[in-house]
A and B are shown apart, each in its own frame.
Chain A
Amino acid sequence: MTAAATLPGAGRPRRLGKALPGAFWALILLTPAFVSLASVSFYPIVNGLYLSLTNTSLITQDQDFTGFANYVQLWGDAQFWNAWWHTIWFTAASTVLETVIGLGMALILCEAFKGRGLVRAAMLVPWAMPTVVTSKMFGWLFDGQNGIINYLLLHAGLIDQNVNWYGSPNTAMITIIIADVWKTTPFMALLLLTGLQTVPNSLIEAARMDGAKGWITFWYIRLPLLMPTLLIAGLFRALDAFRVFDLVYVLTGGGPADSTETLSTLSYKVLFSTLQFGYGSAVSTAMFITEGIIALVFVVYLIRQIRRAQ
């Protein structure tokens, strides 16, 4: 050890680690990841942008540059705006519900009680389950004839006849939001819990000493300190919710009467049912842009919150 320390590199000069600078190895080791992400993520995004400016179709075999023609068509496409509004509504409703209910769950988990480990473990079940399975499961729970939800509500006297949950345009989107909230809220709660646990106990104790009631310490101490976590978790959740595909595609396929059509399901149909890859790419690019705007709004708000806190 001491000999090596006094004569660095003298012992085994042929070792690569010494002979070559770290930058060389960094380049070698990062290359596989870069190649993977470049070919499967960046290339398709750029290629999608290009396709959206063409009339590419796998049926007519066209592939001509048409400028912004697809976007002009998109602007006047009622189906697109229908899906756009559904997606925004789904994203807003599910993100807000998941954050609020998740916060409630996190506050309970923050307290010590018997069986807390069990509850925390159980909360991973909805997260781990394949979304397609969740979708089918809610199809059965909310079945219009034999669904257990209808049975329970009927017997509790909350409804007086079976509700055709995802079979009716009025309630289909609500059913999908419920399924999404079920699947992602527990995980949101676990994220928020780690945030809550970083709030120093001494602060809460001090407030209690000064006679602050439970909800006052929550409102003035825990919540403000939790705000950055809440916003970042909300951002990730919103971006994820915005891309919703599996749940809708499997449960309703966008129906009934397009009442649950979202941007992802619409893009998929334009791409793979009509095989209009040009126009389909325009839809998904418009989606990408909307997602970017959502992220930007969150980040600006987040930075402002952090500045105010300082």
Chain B
Amino acid sequence: MNERRSPLQSFVIYLGALLILVWSGGPFIWQFSTSFQLDKMLTSGSPSLIPHPFTLEHYYNAFVEKQLHRYVWNSLVVSLATTFLCLFVGSLAAFALSRLNVKGRFGILMVILSVSMFPQIALVGPLYLVATNLGLLDTYTALIITYLALGLPLVTWVLFGYFETLPREIDEAARMDGVSVPGLLWRIILPMSLPSLVTTGLLAFITAWNEFLFALAFTSNIDRQTIPVGIANFTNLYYVPWGDIAAASAVVTVPLILLVLFFQRHIIEGLTQGGVKE
């Protein structure tokens, strides 16, 4: 912003930037390094950032002993299903609120958004009873239905914001060409909204991938438990297997981080719109 900075000001800014970088990346880099170190090195009293000797033992333990891949599979199924459902239901709602003449649409949006403020612990008890009665405990279905509702407010809100930026002349032109309402959404608005759909899809995916409370309550079997529940239960009888935990953490976090870094600009735009505006 200001080109004429004193050396001191420059120093403070770069120092601050470095601190933010260490803050954000440091702990995970240490966790990542830990995943490649032998247990005896981790408890040696002289920690080193460079793994020496290098080992894949913890990855072996995570997958072979703790069956990490089964949790990963469950998480993938649940998160992907949630993402597509969220995008589908969310874009219908956002489209209706943005493009059709809905009375009190901002009121409706506020209600939808305020739902995301409900404490989840207040929902988990009654939903557990419903799931029990319907025989849905230990099923993907219970998790997907729940996560759909958890992700929906933010997805609808962000998509609504994006739809609002598309010029209304398109609607009128399409109508005049005889395009029906669903056609307008499916063939015109959605193809124009791909960047926003990718971002919101990613947000829905992360919500489902990271969710712990409902997964903990609704599943008790490795056939259906998701990654957060799996990692939370990563304990050995006599000691805490920090190396194995670090390996599992790296496996489930690195892909997420790469995705987020790839789409970072869209995410920041999408979320700041969802979080702060109005």
Which residues of A are at the interface with B, using a C-beta cutoff of 8 A? 1, 4-5, 8, 11-12, 15-18, 20, 22-23, 25-26, 29-30, 32-33, 36-37, 39-45, 47-48, 51, 104-105, 108-113, 115-116, 118-133, 135-141, 143, 145-146, 148, 151, 182, 185-187, 189-191, 194-195, 201, 229, 232-233, 236, 239, 242-243, 245-246, 249-250, 263-264, 267-268, 271-272, 277, 280-281, 284-285, 287-288, 291, 295
Q: Which residues of B contact A232 (CB under 8 A)?
A: 275-276
Q: How far is the CA of A30 from the CA of B96 in the complex (A)?
A: 7
Residue of A nearest to B5 (CB): A111
Decide: A116 and B17 in contact? CB cutoff 8 A: yes
Task: Judge if B129 is at the interface, Cβ distance under 8 Å.
Answer: yes
Decide: B17 and A119 in contact? CB cutoff 8 A: yes
B 175-194 binary contact with A (CB < 8 Å = 1; else 0) = 11111111111000000000
Within 8 A of A (CB), among B80-128: 88-90, 92-93, 95-97, 100-102, 108, 112, 115, 117-128
Q: Which residues of A contact B267 (CB under 8 A)?
A: 124
Decide: B148 and A36 in contact? CB cutoff 8 A: yes
Residue of B nearest to A190 (CB): B268
Decide: B24 and A126 in contact? CB cutoff 8 A: yes
Decide: B268 and A268 in contact? CB cutoff 8 A: no
Q: How far is the CA of A141 from the CA of B93 in the complex (A)?
A: 44
**Majority-rule SS of A interface residues:** helix
Decide: B121 and A145 in contact? CB cutoff 8 A: no
Q: Which of A37, A130, A141 contacts B152 (CB 8 A)?
A: A37
Residue of B nearest to A8 (CB): B176
Q: How far is the CB of B17 from chain A (nearest CB, A)?
A: 5
Q: How far is the CA of A124 from the CA of B129 in the complex (A)?
A: 37
**Majority-rule SS of B interface residues:** helix
Task: Judge if B63 is at the interface, Cβ distance under 8 Å.
Answer: no
Decide: B252 and A130 in contact? CB cutoff 8 A: yes
Decide: A44 and B122 in contact? CB cutoff 8 A: yes
Decide: A271 and B125 in contact? CB cutoff 8 A: yes
Q: Which residues of A contact B242 (CB under 8 A)?
A: 139-140, 143, 146
Q: How far is the CA of A182 from the CA of B253 in the complex (A)?
A: 16
